[in-house]
Amino acid sequence: MSLIKKDKNRTPAQVVVQDVVKVKKNERVLIIANPATAEIAQDLYAASCEAGATTTLMYQPDKTSFDNANPEVLAAIASQPEVCFSISNIKLGKDPQATANPYTTEDGQKFTHIFDYLMDGKKTMRGAWTPGITPDMMNRTAAIDYKELQTRCAKLTEIFKGAVSVRVTAPAGTDLIVPVNGRALLSDDGDFSKPGSGGNIPAGEVFISPVVGGSQLKGADGNVLEQQSDGCEGVIVYDGSMTFSDGDSILETPITCKVEKGYVTEITGGAEARRLLKTIMEAELRPFVLEKEGKLPQGQAAVYKKNARNIGELGIGLNPAANITGNMLEDEKAFHTCHFAIGENYDNDAPSLIHLDGVVREPTITLTYSDGSTRTILQDGALL
């Protein structure tokens, strides 16, 4: 079933502004871009102005996984616009002040970036972020049938309820058990219309944070269970594409990661495996420099080091207009794929300097529930 919308009367930017974020008259819209993403940013600026918003567009240099955002950019986000588009060539950039002194909500959640705090903590802002977006990708993958996508995501969300673990296997050799008891499936379904909502453009995935190795398990009611989670266990063989600190690449040689008690313990392969290990090692060492400089709270460097090898995400691609191109923003949305991230997760209990996505082709994914029953949702990459 194709989700591609044949809408010749609107640009992809107009579809995003009108159908996805649903910008309203007199709302404040902030667009942050790099020179490389200027064309897309200008289109979003024009579409937001057409919708009647008070729109601001600003540029900063490209930022990698380890760079800070410009102070002016962070100050603009802190002005609390209703909508924020992060149209980045690589990354938005980190928030050094919040990294050193995290924003904390009334219920104790900590956020190391003003963007995340306003969207996920205070839930006053909504928006979209597009790390690695190109005009070609925007034109091919943004103007899809979002209602159909949202229906598909909602069905998978329902299926995941009550699951305690997920097994993922794939032809290249992936065989991983992922504990998910007490975790909720999240959706990048293209409905970013309510305060506190947001996601990628292109949209089109569901994803979940595995239970962190060594952490307490929680039931659906939020109560802590007695047993401890041993975390993900098995092997991941990345055979699609991979994110590194300096960008994304299609893999010429598969990268094999041995995973024990939730953490990557061994990385083998060719030059790309060495490139991944170099990124992880940098994410292990840099927190101690930041802690010494007072840019991380005392004691946090060891936590960041440990989580640089954490399995932080299992995601499933659901955008049929997406292909594996060597650009992770699109690759992780492609049909017949899943992806695992190494580093920080989405449940705010595994902070790290990195979140490195890697794609696995043609996976079979089977859920196991508390009563021992199972359900396969992907068979050799095909949704069942």
DSSP state of 68: B
- Residues 198, 25: Cα–Cα separation, whole Å: 19
Clarify whether residues 365 and 302 are in a common domain: yes
Whether 169 and 364 have beta carbons less than 8 Å apart is answered as yes
The first and second tokens of residue 230, run together, are 């041993």
Last residue of a domain, one of 110, 135, 160: 135
Whether 343 and 212 have beta carbons less than 8 Å apart is answered as no
Whether 251 and 322 have beta carbons less than 8 Å apart is answered as no
211-237: b (≥16 Cβ within 10 Å) or e = bbbebebeeeeeeeeeeebebbbbebb
Whether 4 is covered by a domain: the verdict is no
DSSP string, 77-117: HHT--SEEEEE-SSB--B-HHHHHS-EE-TT--EESSHHHI
Whether 3 is covered by a domain: the verdict is no
Report which residue type is found at 37: T
**Residues near 252 by Cβ (< 8 Å), separated by ≥ 6?**
270, 272
Whether 6 is covered by a domain: the verdict is no
Last residue of a domain, one of 104, 135, 166: 135
Low-confidence ranges of the chain (pLDDT < 70): 1-8, 215-229
Clarify whether residues 104 and 160 are in a common domain: no
Which run of H or E residues covers position 315? strand 311-317
Clarify whether residues 176 and 63 are in a common domain: no
Q: Return phi, psi of residue 46, to 5°.
A: -65, -40
- Residues 358, 273: Cα–Cα separation, whole Å: 12
Whether 39 is covered by a domain: the verdict is yes
Whether 295 is covered by a domain: the verdict is yes
- DSSP 3-state of 226: strand
Q: Output the CA angle 285-72-28, nearest 5 degrees.
A: 120
Clarify whether residues 167 and 131 are in a common domain: no
Whether 5 is covered by a domain: the verdict is no
Clarify whether residues 268 and 205 are in a common domain: yes
- In this prediction, residue 247 carries a pLDDT of 83
- Residues 44, 132: Cα–Cα separation, whole Å: 16
Clarify whether residues 244 and 262 are in a common domain: yes
- Residues 284, 309: Cα–Cα separation, whole Å: 9
- Residues 347, 261: Cα–Cα separation, whole Å: 18
Number of structural domains found in the chain: 2
Clarify whether residues 232 and 274 are in a common domain: yes
Whether 48 is covered by a domain: the verdict is yes
The first and second tokens of residue 197, run together, are 């909502």
Q: Return phi, psi of residue 44, to 5°.
A: -65, -35
How far are the Cα atoms of 157, 160, 167, 316, 339 from residue 374, in angstroms, in the given order?
16, 11, 10, 18, 21
DSSP state of 94: B
The first and second tokens of residue 182, run together, are 């007490």
Clarify whether residues 149 and 100 are in a common domain: no
- Residues 5, 315: Cα–Cα separation, whole Å: 24
Q: Find the Cα–Cα–Cα–Cα dihedral 107, 110, 111, 112, rounded to 10°.
A: 160
pLDDT by residue (tens digit) across 74-83? 999 999 999 9
- DSSP 3-state of 323: coil
Identify the CATH number of the domain in which residue 26 sits. Answer: 3.40.50.2300
Whether 97 and 103 have beta carbons less than 8 Å apart is answered as no
Whether 284 is covered by a domain: the verdict is yes
Q: Is the dihedral of CA 235, 333, 348, 184 positive or negative?
A: negative
Last residue of a domain, one of 101, 135, 169: 135
Range of the domain at 301: 145-383
- In this prediction, residue 246 carries a pLDDT of 80
Clarify whether residues 229 and 122 are in a common domain: no
Clarify whether residues 166 and 243 are in a common domain: yes
Clarify whether residues 198 and 266 are in a common domain: yes
- DSSP 3-state of 232: coil
Clarify whether residues 182 and 113 are in a common domain: no
